[in-house]
């Protein structure tokens, strides 16, 4: 099992904690997609797609504990070289993702803003859970630090990957878009809105903002399903 960080914005952190978001999409690195011609198969088979003498497929690999599905790259011209795990998006099934989110570190005694420092008694605030999150800093009493600067010890949310696959971004279904944590009808009503776009349309608009031209190009994406295994220092029952 490997562990690596993943960046989530405040709305997405809220959606994960609320149980509305159990899936995320990340662009496939361009060096892995330039010559992809065809993708086939499902979560239950080992169908491969080929490009330039390379095969990229979903296989079973013994990691020393148990076999688990992973996306692998191997050269069909030199089968004796075996498989080379590469470009597995944000990880393989069973890997852990520790969430980096917008936060602030306060001195535990004075509650004044402090530099995040491991081993020192500090009060860590998380924008996704803070009542005054969107107030001015002078009202709140401190500034938010971007998620990219969150150290591992300050993390409160850990996820476990339950499935990984590759597809075109426009292949997302209404059901999967809902798993991405889009605004629900109740949330729209609570915000005073009389209607809302469907989940897939919401995701399309969000993706266009995050990755300009990617939707129009119908780029390849990693589709990563996950579950919460740790929140606020507590191990979750679903991890059992």
CA atoms within 13 A on the CB side of 49: 14
Residue percentage of the chain with pLDDT more than 70: 72
Mean pLDDT confidence for 132-136:
89
Tens digits of residue pLDDT in 73-101 = 444 444 454 444 444 556 778 899 999 99
Q: Which residues contact 226 (CB under 8 A, 6 or more apart)?
A: 22, 23, 24, 97, 159, 160, 161, 162
Q: Is the pLDDT of residue 66 over 70?
A: no
pLDDT of 43 higher than 50: no
**Higher-pLDDT residue of 139, 68:** 139
pLDDT above 60: residue 190: yes
Flag the least confident range among 19-28, 33-42, 191-200: 33-42
pLDDT at 183 over 90: no
How many DSSP H helices and E strands does the chain contain? 6, 11
Render pLDDT for 199-216 as a digit per residue (tens, 0 to 9): 999 999 999 999 999 999
pLDDT at 105: 95
The mean pLDDT of 145-164, rounded to a whole number, is 94
The confidence score (pLDDT) of residue 37 equals: 33
> 3-98+156-239: which CATH architecture?
Roll (2.30)
pTM for this predicted structure: 0.77
Higher-confidence position of 107 and 163: 107
Q: Identify the band that residue 38 occupies on the pLDDT scale cut at 50, 70 and 90.
A: very low
Q: What are the residue ranges spanned by the domains of the chain? A: 3-98+156-239, 103-145
For the range 206-215, what are the long-range contacts, defined as Cβ-Cβ under 8 Å and sequence gap of 24 or more? 206/182, 207/25, 207/169, 211/27, 214/27, 214/169, 215/169, 215/170
């Amino acid at each position: 099992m490997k562990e690596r960080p993943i960046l989530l914005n405040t709305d997405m952190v809220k959606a994960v904690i609320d149980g509305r978001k159990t899936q995320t999409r990340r662009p496939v690195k361009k060096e892995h997609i330039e010559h992809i011609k065809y993708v086939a198969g499902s979560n239950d088979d080992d169908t491969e797609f080929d490009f330039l003498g390379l095969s990229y497929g979903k296989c079973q690999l013994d990691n020393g504990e148990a076999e688990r599905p992973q996306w692998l790259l191997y050269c069909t011209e030199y089968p004796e070289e075996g498989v080379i795990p590469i470009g597995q998006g944000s990880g393989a099934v069973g890997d852990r993702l520790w969430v980096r989110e917008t936060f602030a570190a306060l001195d535990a005694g004075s509650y004044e803003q402090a530099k995040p420092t491991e081993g020192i008694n500090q009060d860590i605030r998380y924008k996704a859970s803070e009542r005054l999150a969107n107030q001015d800093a002078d009202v709140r009493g401190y500034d938010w630090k971007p998620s990219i600067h969150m150290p591992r010890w300050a993390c409160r949310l850990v996820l476990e990957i339950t499935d990984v696959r590759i597809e075109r971004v426009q292949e997302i279904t209404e059901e999967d878009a809902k798993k991405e944590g889009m605004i629900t009808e109740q949330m729209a009503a609570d915000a005073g809105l009389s209607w809302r776009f469907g989940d897939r349309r919401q995701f399309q608009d969000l993706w266009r903002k995050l990755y300009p031209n990617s939707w129009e190009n119908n780029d390849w994406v990693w589709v990563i399903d996950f579950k919460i295994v740790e929140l606020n220092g507590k191990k979750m029952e679903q991890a059992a």
